[in-house]
Structure 1
Amino acid sequence: MTGVGMVMRKLGSTAKPVQDIKVENGKWTIITTTTFKTTNIEFRLGEEFEETTADGRKVMTKMTLEKNKLTQDQKGVNGGKDSVLVREVNGDTLTMTLTADNVVCKRTYKLVNLAAG
């Protein structure tokens, strides 16, 4: 895969995703929903797992948590690109920063419901 195609790039730039993050008995679930796609990952902190990203890349992922930052470290499979997503909560805002190669993308979410888990 050489990169994200123009159609996927346009769709991604106009999407207004909703992320539902849950933790139950040490198992995390992140469901990201847009009008054209839903992705779902389930994991335990510190344990590597196979993931297919929203843009179709196959990666091996490890999630870590440090204070208010959840880091998603993705290593490309079969020559695919590596990327890192950091979700940081400050008050009622979640900022997600995605870094791949020298490109950085930031997306800001408004927390709707913060339940203890």
Structure 2
Amino acid sequence: MVEAFCGTWKLVDSKNFDEYMEAIGIPFATRQVGNVTKTTVLISADEDNVMVRTLSTFRNTECLAKLGEEFDETTPDDRQVKSVFTIEGDKFVHTQKWDGKETKIIREIKDGKMVMTLTFEGITAVRTYEKLERRTSFVSM
């Protein structure tokens, strides 16, 4: 199922992202950068692992983990979180936990686009990505 998400995705639309970032505690100046940064997300998988790379002019991040197994992650805003990737139906879910808090990043394919819904304590942001290319195996950097 992860294969449906594999590829290179470019951000084309973002709604309510500032409110989401504020809710999870990101400072104003960092939010301003986050609001104007057009990210590219590369998702790849092999038989054991999923890799999600997020590239931008602000910061690049990379997560590599087995589905269903918790891993340590440093977010672009420097939060240290415990994360897990899961597949729930046709959704690729990324859950982050820190300081007794939890946020979910749910990716779905709709009309050929990847729609990423971020939720935290009743606040929801939606970011839409268009596919630039398909990638099914890991890419070395």
| TM-score, scaled relative to structure 1 | 0.88
The 5 Å alignment of 1:70-109 reads: 70-76=92-98, 79=99, 81-109=101-129
Distance 1:74 1:115 in 2: 25
Using the TM superposition, give the Cα deviation of residue 50 of structure 1 relative to its aligned residue in structure 2, in angstroms: 1.0
Distance 1:27 1:116 in 2: 11
- SS in structure 2 of the partner of residue 10 of structure 1: helix
1:27 aligns with 2:49: yes
| Structure 1: unaligned runs, 5 residues or longer | none
Using the TM superposition, give the Cα deviation of residue 29 of structure 1 relative to its aligned residue in structure 2, in angstroms: 0.7
Distance 2:136 2:33 in 1: 33
Using the TM superposition, give the Cα deviation of residue 30 of structure 1 relative to its aligned residue in structure 2, in angstroms: 0.6
Distance 1:55 1:89, change over 3 A: same
Q: CA RMSD in A?
A: 1.6
| Structure 2: unaligned runs, 5 residues or longer | 1-23
Distance 1:113 1:102, change over 3 A: same
| TM-score, scaled relative to structure 2 | 0.74
Contact 1:46 1:62 in 2 (8 A): yes
Structure scoring higher RCO (CA < 8 A, sep ≥ 6) equals: 2
Using the TM superposition, give the Cα deviation of residue 100 of structure 1 relative to its aligned residue in structure 2, in angstroms: 1.4
Using the TM superposition, give the Cα deviation of residue 116 of structure 1 relative to its aligned residue in structure 2, in angstroms: 4.5
Distance 1:112 1:91 in 2: 14
- SS in structure 2 of the partner of residue 112 of structure 1: strand
Aligned length: 114
Using the TM superposition, give the Cα deviation of residue 114 of structure 1 relative to its aligned residue in structure 2, in angstroms: 2.6
The counterpart of 1:112, out of the listed 132, 137, 140, is: 132
Distance 1:56 1:24 in 2: 28
